[in-house]
């Protein structure tokens, strides 16, 4: 199974964000219920950040694709004659 690099990055960041909670739970500084609440908040935060970054990247890719289409028109597009082609 293959997942995209954005999902892989979000998973890695999520695990790194849970490390302090796990350390505090192991040291007995917080209760399991508090650790669970922190884990849920961390999960929701990472998922929200990943979704926003995914939307931003899709928007950026769409803008770049449109800019590329406008910059290089087809030399034989409708409305142009064969004699209008640039010389080779």
Q: pLDDT tens for residues 26-77?
A: 999 999 999 999 999 999 999 999 999 989 988 988 887 777 666 555 556 6
Average pLDDT over residues 72-88: 59
Tell me the domain boundaries of the chain: 31-70
How high is the pLDDT of residue 17?
Answer: 94
CB 18 within 8 A of CB 42: yes
pLDDT at 80 > cutoff 70 = no
pLDDT at 79 > cutoff 70 = no
pLDDT at 1 > cutoff 60 = no
How high is the pLDDT of residue 87?
Answer: 62
Long-range contacts formed by 19-27: CB under 8 A, 24+ apart: none
């Amino acid at each position: 199974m293959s997942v995209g690099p954005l999902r892989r990055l979000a998973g890695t960041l999520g695990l790194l964000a849970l490390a302090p909670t796990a350390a505090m739970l192991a040291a007995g500084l917080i209760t399991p219920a508090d650790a669970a609440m922190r884990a849920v908040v961390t999960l929701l935060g990472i998922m929200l950040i990943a979704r926003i970054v995914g939307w931003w990247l899709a928007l950026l890719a769409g803008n770049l694709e449109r800019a590329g289409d406008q910059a290089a028109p087809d030399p034989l597009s409708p409305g142009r004659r064969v004699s209008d082609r640039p010389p080779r």
